[in-house]
């Protein structure tokens, strides 16, 4: 059976969902507004359902458009990926594996890992997809990326994981801070302390549940910044303190712009894993090869995330 819609219709639906206007979507696609309107009517005629309704000069998507936009994104992403993979093959690359790290954009570990990878698996290239870091596991499921380096447990249907390393959380502060020099920080130490948090959604294995709540001791929340690198800069400028993952802070700590202390006397360690699609868990699959080599690299005493 011939599909009702072709790629032009899928591109149209995605563009209108992203822009909300026929004129803006037409500019994105490089066609006239009238041509795009005609193409939209054709798509709705073929599907026999409305895709958009007009609301104050903007187009509001219907449930049908919402669903088709998800499908269009997946198909167009896969198509773009296939085209890019074919082009890369001419440069001696047979497989491109897309990877992202949850939350952090510290990639000083990448050159070391790429050297390790190339010495053990020819023809595999790594592409970092930084835009997937805010929701990397769903990025794996919808095939935007192939591997997500994530913290905590991975418990989503369709995903497998391989543990890479355990990493302690650090309470970070400017060198001039009154608590600088402490080996560890307890909840009572930071009552009313200016605190910059990555998220205000408490997690069961992080500082809110294990540092603040046990002693009913809370800092003064001053900002929510969903960018760890920005948090580091704010802390270094004496605008607050924070708790972040140790491995991603090593560069700033070595430079002396911030100092860190263990979180609680016993410490709080968070497991980091490589998440991948379970269907890719085949020994000779390039994606699973990269996952396995990433684990081996993390186990090396002079490499891995812990050696950054």
Q: What is the pLDDT of residue 273?
A: 95
Total domains, the chain: 2
Same domain, 47 and 19: yes
Same domain, 31 and 162: no
Q: What is the pLDDT of residue 250?
A: 86
- What is the number of other CB atoms lying within 10 angstroms of the CB of residue 88? 15
**Which long-range contacts (C-beta less than 8 Å, at least 24 apart) are formed by 126-132?**
126/96, 126/97, 126/99, 126/290, 127/96, 127/97, 127/98, 127/99, 128/98, 128/99, 128/100, 129/98, 129/99, 129/100, 130/100, 130/105, 131/100, 132/100
Q: What is the pLDDT of residue 213?
A: 86
**Residue 243 placed within a domain:** yes
Q: What is the pLDDT of residue 244?
A: 92
Consecutive 10-residue runs of the chain (308 residues): their mean pLDDT? 77 88 89 90 90 83 89 87 75 83 87 93 89 89 94 90 93 96 93 89 78 87 89 95 90 94 92 95 94 94 67
Same domain, 271 and 146: yes
**Could you list the residue range(s) of the whole structural domain that residue 44 is in?**
7-74
In 3-state terms, what secondary structure has residue 3?
coil
Q: What is the pLDDT of residue 61?
A: 86
CATH number at residue 69: 1.10.10.10
Q: What is the pLDDT of residue 308?
A: 55
Same domain, 101 and 63: no
């Amino acid at each position: 059976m011939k599909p009702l819609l072709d790629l032009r219709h899928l591109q149209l639906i995605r563009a209108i969902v992203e822009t909300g206007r026929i004129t803006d979507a037409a500019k994105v696609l490089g066609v006239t507004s009238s041509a795009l309107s005609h193409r939209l009517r054709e798509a709705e005629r073929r599907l026999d359902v409305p895709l958009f309704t007009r609301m104050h000069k903007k187009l509001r998507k219907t449930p049908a458009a919402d669903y088709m936009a998800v499908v269009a994104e997946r198909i167009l992403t896969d198509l773009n990926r296939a085209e890019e993979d074919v082009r890369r093959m001419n440069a001696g690359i047979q497989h491109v594996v897309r990877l992202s790290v949850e939350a952090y954009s510290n990639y000083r570990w990448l050159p070391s890992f790429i050297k390790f990878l190339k010495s053990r698996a020819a023809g595999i290239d790594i592409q970092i997809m930084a835009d997937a870091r805010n929701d990397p596991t769903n990025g794996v499921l919808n095939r935007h990326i192939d591997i997500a380096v994530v913290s905590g447990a991975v418990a989503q249907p369709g995903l497998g994981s391989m543990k890479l390393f355990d990493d302690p959380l650090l309470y970070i502060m400017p060198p001039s801070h009154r608590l600088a020099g402490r080996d560890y920080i307890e909840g009572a130490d930071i009552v009313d302390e200016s605190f910059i948090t990555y998220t205000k959604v408490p997690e069961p294995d992080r500082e809110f549940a294990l540092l603040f709540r046990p002693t009913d001791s809370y800092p003064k929340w001053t900002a929510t910044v969903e960018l760890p690198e920005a948090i580091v800069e704010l802390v270094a400028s004496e605008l607050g303190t924070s708790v972040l993952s140790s491995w991603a802070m090593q560069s700033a700590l070595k430079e002396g712009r911030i100092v860190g202390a263990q979180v609680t006397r016993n410490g709080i360690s968070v497991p980091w894993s490589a998440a991948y699609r379970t269907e890719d868990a085949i020994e000779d699959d390039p994606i699973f090869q990269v996952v396995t080599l990433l684990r081996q690299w993390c186990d090396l005493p002079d490499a891995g995330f812990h050696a950054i």
